[in-house]
Amino acid sequence: PWESFEKAVVDGSMDQIYICIQLLDEKDHDRAATILIQKLANAKTVEGKTYAHNLLKALTGQALGTDPRRWEVWLQARDTERDKKKK
């Protein structure tokens, strides 16, 4: 599923990426979120930003808007929380 996700992000449609997101293993969600946050940050149009936001929302269940910094903060907080649970 990870390879399919990476390929879909490069040259797939939103529907293809969405399907790949649904098939990802839980362990790959943060990696996928990182890629989608980068896609959001690089988007030049409102449509592109909305597209990336909708994919992030589908992946994470979060609705943090189109500001990539909010997503980065959320992902860092999630990593911090996960690290605390490991200790």
Which helix H or strand E contains 67, and what residues bound it? none
Report how far residue 10's alpha carbon sits from residue 27's, in angstroms, rounded to the nearest whole number: 21
Check: CB of residue 51 under 8 Å from CB of residue 43.
yes
Q: How confident is the model at residue 19 (pLDDT cuts 50, 70, 90)?
A: very high
Please indicate, yes or no, whether the overall pTM of this predicted structure exceeds 0.85. Answer: yes
Cα–Cα nearest to 38, from 14, 12, 81, 69? 69
Please report the pLDDT score of residue 57 as a whole number. 97
